[in-house]
Chains A and B, each alone.
Chain A
Amino acid sequence: MNPRRVRAVAKRIAEQFRRDRRSLGLLIGAPILVMSLVGALWGSSTAQVSRIVVATDRAPAPQLVAALRRSPALAVTETTVDEAMRRLRDATVDAVISTRVGFVSTEIVVVMEGSDPFRSGTTLQSIQRAVLAAVSVPPIPGAPPAGPPPVVVEYLHGGPDHTLLDLLAPLLIGVFAFFFTFLLSAVSFLRERTSGTLERLMATPLRRAELVVGYLAGFSVFALIQAVVIIAFTVLVLNVKYSGSLATIFLIEAMLVIVSVSLGLFISAFARTELQAVQFIPVVLVPQIFLSGLLVPVDQLPDVLRPFAAIMPLTYSNEALRGVMVRGLEIGDPVIVRDLLVLAAFGVVTIAGAIASIRREVA
């Protein structure tokens, strides 16, 4: 070991870093960005408020309803069982509470919407607390508290025969597609820019829009192959249960990939090296993982973060993929239609950005 040579190598690395201000900035800035996200997400105490419906035609005991109403974590409405179940299917409420006459006693029946495992967990916890609170208040002052009534929990989607993976795998398909196509398109278009082939292409009859659409088509094919492989693997090897039509899943995927690829092409204009392109991951992708409903339901996000979730493509693909693959929604369902339209709007913006970024370089 020659200390002088070692020092020379270390010094060179420091000098290169100094020239590459962006790497230096990201080294410091990216953790700060991610930590402040995490801080805002989990550091604040905005607890989830679950929307539950109490069936009026099969109402549980009044003191239970009162206890449910007293819970700050529950927003309680009352309506008929039929109407309540309809709202549950639309996922506009999280749980329906009613009663059923059993052999021994009257059971309390909680039907969970169930498509979002994190939301379900919190909701069920809040309901169980309220049930316990209700029985700990004796009906007659001084009398011993009655034993807790039997509670039967049922699931519209998911439930005990579903694992966390069943409910999250659909979203992961979107995340993988976004991640890889964004990264690969950013890097390959960066190469196109730096190796001179982009300029060479601009000296042919090829139009910029044709180039962008060609990239979109090429990458979409690979993203769909990726989706097929992931779905097949999760179904056949991991025994994940899905519903929904494959065609609808592909359509959602394709829309998402159009956004991620054109975003990758656009972003590549702001990188000079492949390393710099990779550095966009913590900026573009990590916030989407945190805010797009994968870990925390979007409507439970702290107020400061909700607007960010609204401008993230993964928010909409997650909702759509969960809708189709967990809730079994059809392509014509208003939720799916809206998500596809929003993704299309993102696509228009990012494609325009990609085309404009080509003009920026080539006069």
Chain B
Amino acid sequence: MSAVEGSAAGSGAAALVATDVTKRFGSVEALRGLSVTVREGEIYGLLGPNGSGKTTFIRCVAGLVRPDAGSLALWGGEPREAVAAGRVGYMTQAAALYVELSVEENLGFFAALEGVDGVRQRIEEVLRTVDLLDRRRSVVGTLSGGMRQRVSLAAALLHDPRLLLLDEPTVGVDPTLRRDFWDHFRGLATRGVTILVSSHVMDEAGRCDRLGLIRDGRVLAEGSAKELVARAGTADLESAFLTLSEGATA
């Protein structure tokens, strides 16, 4: 894995290109022609209410869901290829961990699957990042929801992926640690890691390089937080989101 030194805020090559992606679950149209391009070293935020299709899109990117139509490429190839090559880290919306196992055992398992070298040391590093080093031997089932989120993030970081998929990563995480998380994400992006993060928390959105406002499986508007606020002519991002989505449905 060569660390492609991406200059600030994603001026690199496209890491993720999604064009007109649609996905239907029975009668529910989760994605209706969603198009997004994310550059290397960029933090791209998917911002939208519950049920707008954020998780479904991230699952498509992780190669877990095959779009019904449209195209989706990671570095020009199939998502599965990038996943198989260990270039993708996925933090699921609800922490997907083995509750009977300890923090360390969970991370050891995922590290083995991802072929991480120097497992012990790497586990220590990621646990320090999520500030859980002292709970390494705790059984996951005994941890709070926020702590499990942190273990889940640690598992996604283990193999130093080039693309990090974060589905509502800071739910249940207290404000101080939330700020540390975002500092860490920024640090990763500066080193060229591409981050696709979903959220319905507006104040987090300001820390993304670019945002896609998602509603009903489509991107309504795209741009930096500043641009979106300016375009809507509102005071903050929350009202901007409302104004822009009303404009789109009207």
Write the residues of chain A forming the contact surface with B, with a CB cutoff of 8 angstroms. 195-197, 199-206, 362-363
Contacts and interface: CB of A to CB of B under 8 A. Distances in A.
B104 interface: no
B8 interface: no
Nearest to A207: B84
Q: Which 9 A-B pairs have the closest CB atoms?
A: A200-B96, A196-B96, A363-B66, A203-B90, A204-B113, A203-B62, A197-B96, A205-B84, A363-B65
Interface centre among A201, A203, A363 (most CB of B within 10 A): A203
B193 to A, nearest CB: 17
Given A202-B63, A204-B83, A363-B66, 14 more contacts: A195-B96, A196-B92, A196-B96, A197-B96, A199-B92, A200-B92, A200-B96, A203-B62, A203-B64, A203-B83, A203-B90, A205-B86, A362-B64, A363-B65
B98 A197 contact: yes
Contact of A200 (B86, B90, B115): B90
B64 A205 contact: no
Contacts, number: 41
A204 B97 contact: no
8 contacts: A195-B99, A196-B92, A199-B59, A200-B90, A203-B88, A204-B110, A205-B86, A205-B115
**Category for how many chain B residues contact A:** 20 to 34
Contact of B96 (A199, A205, A206): A199
B209 interface: no
Contacts of B83: 203-205
A203 B88 CA distance: 8
B96 A363 contact: no
A235 B241 CA distance: 74
B85 interface: yes
A197 B90 CA distance: 12
Nearest to A205: B84
Nearest to B87: A205
Nearest to A195: B96
A202 B59 CA distance: 10
